[in-house]
Structure 1
Amino acid sequence: MSHTAVPDDHPRSASLRTRHRIEAGIDAGITSRQGLIAEGRGEAFDYLIGERTIESAAAAERAAAAHLLRAESPVVSVNGNVAALAPEAVVDLADATGAAIEVNLFNRTEARMDAIADHLRDHGASEVKGLTADARIPGLSHERGKVDADGIHAADVVLVPLEDGDRAAALAEMGKTEIVVDLNPLSRSPQAAAVPVVDNLVRALPAITEHARDLRDRPEEWDAIIEGFDREAALADAERAIRSGQLE
């Protein structure tokens, strides 16, 4: 079944479309084979949460937008799954918040880096960082530690879509404000984040963008939104939603 052949009234239509995007990403050299496993894990948590944006996640998305707008050097980090699933949403979010886009991979090869950068440019990105890799995140010996000096390394706020536990912890150690999108509230990534967004990436990024556009001309509200967000309560609410089994 092709991506376009998935009928809208199919009860699993959204999940089937995201699977096809990951498959297409592998064929295009954007996504690693391990991305299939990660997608399946995320899909399981999304099913348990009812495939919806819960109230605490919506609050986190609004806080994320305020953080990105208030930041001096915000960066949206992109891996292979993110590039395959939501390239337009990444570009829209960067445009709405003034954030840079940087590719960062665990299974890093020059070919994959170039393919993802080209893919993002094809979807409207004017500049894509990550190819220079002239700085390192302290404490990370693997390829995710390679970052651009004027990108993630210099950022004050970093949006990390999808779980990325060791790098999330290392970025927090650097004093950066992290926004993490991850459907597993018990993962190291949201546990390390200032703003854990327990929601599906394909819902979360457009929601953050919508909030950013709404708040962009109201900077007097940013601090109150940020200070009013309770990360511990958000994580606890997401865990309750998953454990309750009350699917909609």
Structure 2
Amino acid sequence: MRTRRAARRGAVFLAVRGGLARMSDEVDVPEDHPRYQSLLTRHRIEAGVEKGITSTQGLIAEGRGEAFDYLLGEETIPSADRAARAAAAHFLLAEHPVISVNGNVAALVPGEVVELAEATDADIEVNLFGRTEERVRAIAAHLREYGASEVKGLTADARIPGLSHERAKVDRDGIYDADVVLVPLEDGDRAEALGEMGKTEVVIDLNPLSRSARVATVPIIDNILRALPNVARHARDLSGSPRETLTEIVEGFDREGALDAAERRLREGATRESE
């Protein structure tokens, strides 16, 4: 669908795989440990704090998300997979898709962000609540280490209307001009503000009751470690599909059904009924 996507996909995939291997080696816990993924995630946030990428508040946010993931069964439920497929279709139909990256996203899934950007020809933009120029530059450099060719967010020459804090600052040729925005691990007020700007929002959030998930066009109720690779996989599978096929996927997605299925899983656990 976009000419430069296929040509660069192989090289970037190898870079992502290598990046994940480096991150995994930093934790002295065997991969068959029952809490390996959880411990790895916590370590990445801790390492992000030391590197100046994440804030200490990010550790609290990660703990909250981990609790929801535990209740979900630490797996991608069927409704979340359908949401990931709808998200991929939105990105492939978009004129200007953008992936918004905060500190936790950069620490947890830098390679996966790059992989999704390459699969969908999306821009990557750093956007922070506790914004400092130093943190933005550190995150941009970190993403470039994982293969990002360009990272937006340093210019900050536009503002999202209705917000008074630092997350209002965006690049005019990035999030401000985007038609589809992926906002993982997002603040609810900015998610609402982006929706009021008429943007299609894809939100990754483990809490189906959060304001971000409730205002999203496509709420993906899943762990970002699973969700981002899943959206990228669907994008690769759907690449080259006719617009009619992609439009059918977008129009057939049931956002309320996805939220209800996730809430039901949280409250009742896994059942034999399909979600």
Overall identity of the aligned pairs, in %: 71
Match of 1:145 in 2: 168
> Residues 125-182 of structure 1: CA distance to partner in whole angstroms, max 9, x if unpaired?
0000010000000000000000000000000000001131000000000000000000
Normalising by structure 1, what TM-score? Answer: 0.97
Out of 29, 34, 53, the position equivalent to 2:57 is 34
Out of 243, 256, 260, the position equivalent to 1:232 is 256
Q: Secondary structure at the match of 2:124?
A: strand
Query: Partners of 2:181 and 2:130 in 1: how far apart?
Result: 20
1:225 to partner: Cα distance: 0.5
> Residues 45-91 of structure 1: CA distance to partner in whole angstroms, max 9, x if unpaired?
00000000000000000000000000000000000000000000000
Indicate if the aligned counterparts of 2:101 and 2:124 stay in contact, CA closer than 8 A.
yes
Q: CA RMSD of the aligned region, Å? A: 1.0
Mapping for residues 125-204 of structure 1, pairs under 5 Å: 125-204=148-227
- Counterpart residue identity of residue 77, structure 1: S
Match of 1:210 in 2: 233
> Residues 192-246 of structure 1: CA distance to partner in whole angstroms, max 9, x if unpaired?
1000000000100000000001101113310010011000000000000000134
> Residues 106-142 of structure 1: CA distance to partner in whole angstroms, max 9, x if unpaired?
0001110000000001100000001000000000000
Normalising by structure 2, what TM-score? Answer: 0.88
1:8 to partner: Cα distance: 1.3
Indicate if the aligned counterparts of 2:27 and 2:43 stay in contact, CA closer than 8 A.
no
Is 1:90 paired with 2:113?
A: yes
Q: Where does structure 1 differ by over 6 angstroms across 4 or more consecutive aligned residues?
A: none
Match of 2:147 in 1: 124
Match of 1:47 in 2: 70
Is 1:78 paired with 2:101?
A: yes
Aligned residues: 246
Which runs of no fewer than 5 residues in structure 2 stay unpaired? 1-24
Query: Partners of 2:217 and 2:148 in 1: how far apart?
Result: 27
Indicate if the aligned counterparts of 1:163 and 1:187 stay in contact, CA closer than 8 A.
no
Q: Secondary structure at the match of 1:196?
A: strand
